[in-house]
Amino acid sequence: MNPKVIYEDLGLIDFKEAWDYQTQLFDATIAIKMDNRRDENNKIITSNYLLFCEHPHVFTLGKSGKETHLLLNENSLKARGATYYKINRGGDITYHGPGQLVAYPIFDLDHFFTDIHKYLRFLEEAVIRTLAEYDIIAERVEGLTGVWVDGTKPTARKICAMGVKCSRWVTMHGIALNVKSDLSYFKNIVPCGINDKAVTSIQNELGKEIDMNDVKQKLKINLSKVFNYENV
Catalytic residues: 192
The residues facing 85 across adjacent strands are 60
Asked if 182 contacts 204 with a C-beta cutoff of 8 angstroms, the reply is no
Diameter of the chain measured on Cα atoms: 58
Cα–Cα–Cα angle for 160, 128, 112, nearest 5°? Answer: 95
